[in-house]
Chain A
């Protein structure tokens, strides 16, 4: 490796780095390595590698030690030039980033050597505060490899011949995938015929009851397929892919292709399993409680739910009388009656007294529902979620517009 020209070595390192970073760039690194092998293979000995292609050679020909000239196609040369330019640019960017990070650490008065990306984010947020709604529009400082889009490696060798047999379809990976699916389908059909002959038309019952099911997962998204193939797949082609996969999965013997199908499916996680359940703590009196907070409109509430309790409710130091209207008390009752904990837990709520009673009651209800999840089992938690108790209400007051009386209302229009 050390004998490679500097830029090639660098790009190799980069490719290895990609190897670690994400599965989608495996293709890239593989191609690049194949690229190197191709170079090595074209010469007769390892020494050839030392004279590996250099874009600086003007005539595009290299003298190998054996005396045979290695032809580099024009396309390859152009690619190499582009790749070098890109790598140089990235190197400069990385250097800039490193130095910038150290500057930032000094500005923040922290140790530059142990300054992590999290610290950078924090520093940027502190030094350049931004109220822009879109997070990606706010100022940021990140590793250049995270910011600049990835480049696809060369798809052809020095002689200008493409590696992939479907190169001229312009989407080789995509069509290779369709090809795979089609052949798997054929395999299944052949298998089915064979089984029909063997078993006299009786399908394999015992195997059929295996746990192959599509219910717990879904097909990968369009974007995910694009990432996987490192190719632009139009919407229409994606739908074509889905049709073929559906057909394959619907085959009675599809369980034999389970592994293949699974690579194009993503598991569906139960929403309530992904919820964060608050920890049960124990206070100085030995009572167990859970703490949670909730929001509604502009109001935020923090709630402690004690179990066992006697149904006592304390809101900002008052009892339920805090809400004079029954509607608000009922809204607090709902998560409790759903979980069957009415009269069995004590609730202590701190709510900001800003905003109306609806907002306050809504915030407390959300917080209570979240806290109560600590004391109930999985199925009830799922019930709570399905009832919408664990979902934050995102609605807020719409802003008033200039030139209008209110958010939507217009001034009275007079003809003259």
Chain B
């Protein structure tokens, strides 16, 4: 069986361009050298190494690993990545009985920057952009995984678009400032997400100023942040304010206490572009609530300002979060709009391209390995070429094409 697979791989290599061939060959070589350091990995090279790497630590990923899948441990999927992976992707991972991500060049690049960054400067900002389904969120996940392994504190928004859309959502007048609106449920949901993601990292963090919720309730100086979160979860009315407090404390203490904060926001353009569909947020007077009037958005926008350091901001911009009329282009400048662009400036745009032929081949090999492609023709070299053509090597389209094979 193994011999057969290797032969297939050889055939594929022949058809690839020379650079691609060299890349794979190079990796096989490196894979064996990496094996020496890892645990109980058999020394001989097999086909698995063409699309899979045994290097599970994103900190060790280099350009040599680009196009290879690495496995995320189950514990991290249930803590760090809970609620982060897109449902279709999570379903696929569950079907495969393992949680694998492909190492791709954009995230390796960003991780490299984060590794060598001088964090005394105001927060650096990176924006992943690219076509729909090109793997922006997966790149973000890889960066998050990298930071989580480095014990950074995660401030992650799985999908910012949720905060500007309605679906009969509860919208309350802000308790902190009139003219702003709270989303108690969303804020509470985010608080619990934050708590799960940063389970053991908030122990010795305490507030640095006094916060008065009501006449009777207040948080004194030195209240643990855990308690603030608990308060927000118990009293939904103040959950948005708790988020504000939490973010403010993180900003203030990041440099002082020496912990690093990663702000990861998916489809950050929803913070700046009003959503004017039927399901837009409406206040009690049935008037549309604009993004900047939402207290959650207001608080998170402060995380994007260069007023603090010892952290990093990595975001994605997403066409799908914009109105139908504002989806002509996928560049950050277009999607963020004038206001968003000015707010973000300066930032490093990182293009997430479609799969290269090596990456697409690796992905298809992975799908074949997982028996996701069962059609006999789909497993041949010719069939793979056809799948690549029809999907245009777009990762999501590749999945969609293969899901019916």
Contact = CB atoms under 8 A, between A and B. Distances in A.
B131 interface: yes
Given A320-B392, A321-B131, A321-B392, A342 B386 contact: yes
Interface string A298-325: 0000000000001101000001110000
B382 A337 contact: yes
B388 interface: yes
B389 A343 contact: yes
B403 to A, nearest CB: 12
B392 A336 contact: no
B394 A333 contact: no
A91 B391 CA distance: 71
B389 A342 contact: yes
Contact of A337 (B131, B386, B400): B386
Contacts of B390: 326, 329-330, 333
B17 interface: yes
A16 B15 CA distance: 67
Contacts of A330: 390
B180 interface: no
A380 to B, nearest CB: 15
B283 to A, nearest CB: 36
A343 B131 contact: no
B389 A321 contact: no
B354 to A, nearest CB: 9
B401 interface: yes
A320 B391 CA distance: 9
Interface in B374-398: 382, 385-386, 388-392, 394, 397
Nearest to A321: B392
Nearest to A334: B386
A319 B386 CA distance: 16
Contact of B401 (A311, A326, A340, A343): A326
Given A310-B17, A326-B401, A336 B389 contact: yes
A98 to B, nearest CB: 61
For B386, B389, B391, which residue has the most chain A Cβ atoms within 10 angstroms? B389
Contacts of B357: 310
A333 B392 contact: no
B394 A311 contact: no
A335 to B, nearest CB: 12
Contacts of A342: 382, 385-386, 389
B390 to A, nearest CB: 5
A311 B386 contact: no
Nearest to B132: A321
Given A310-B17, A326-B401, A321 B394 contact: yes
Q: Interface SS of chain B: helix, strand, loop or mixed?
A: helix
A311 B390 CA distance: 11
B131 A333 contact: no
B389 A329 contact: yes
Contacts of A311: 385, 388-389
A329 B389 CA distance: 8
Contacts of B386: 333, 337, 342
Contacts of A333: 386, 389-390
A377 to B, nearest CB: 19
A382 B350 CA distance: 48
A310 B388 CA distance: 12
Contacts of A336: 389
Interface string A123-167: 000000000000000000000000000000000000000000000
Contact of A343 (B388, B391, B397, B400): B388
A320 B393 CA distance: 10
Interface in B116-169: 131
A330 B390 CA distance: 6
Contacts of A320: 389, 392
A343 B385 contact: yes
A342 B15 CA distance: 11
Contacts of B17: 310
A319 B131 CA distance: 12
Contacts of B391: 326
Nearest to B17: A310
A282 to B, nearest CB: 22
A319 B392 contact: yes
A310 B357 CA distance: 10
A329 B394 CA distance: 13
B402 to A, nearest CB: 11
Interface in A279-313: 310-311, 313
Contacts of B401: 326
A1 B401 CA distance: 83
B182 to A, nearest CB: 39
A311 B385 CA distance: 9
Contacts of B389: 311, 313, 320, 329, 333, 336, 342-343
A311 B401 CA distance: 18
A401 B17 CA distance: 57
For B385, B397, B401, which residue has the most chain A Cβ atoms within 10 angstroms? B385
A340 B17 CA distance: 17
A336 B394 CA distance: 20
Interface string B162-205: 00000000000000000000000000000000000000000000
B385 to A, nearest CB: 4
Interface string B56-67: 000000000000
B115 to A, nearest CB: 33
B113 to A, nearest CB: 29
Contacts of A321: 131, 392, 394
For A310, A326, A330, which residue has the most chain B Cβ atoms within 10 angstroms? A326
A337 B397 CA distance: 19
B71 to A, nearest CB: 30
A340 B386 CA distance: 10
Contacts of A310: 17, 357
23 contacts: A310-B357, A311-B388, A313-B389, A313-B392, A319-B392, A320-B392, A321-B131, A321-B394, A326-B400, A326-B401, A329-B389, A330-B390, A333-B386, A333-B389, A333-B390, A336-B389, A337-B382, A342-B385, A342-B386, A342-B389, A343-B385, A343-B388, A343-B389
Given A326-B401, A337-B386, A343-B388, 19 more contacts: A310-B17, A310-B357, A311-B389, A313-B389, A313-B392, A320-B389, A321-B394, A326-B390, A326-B397, A329-B392, A330-B390, A333-B386, A333-B389, A340-B382, A342-B382, A342-B385, A342-B386, A343-B15, A343-B389
Interface of A: 310-311, 313, 319-321, 326, 329-330, 333, 336-337, 340, 342-343
6 closest A-B pairs (Cβ-Cβ)? A320-B392, A342-B385, A329-B390, A343-B385, A333-B389, A326-B390
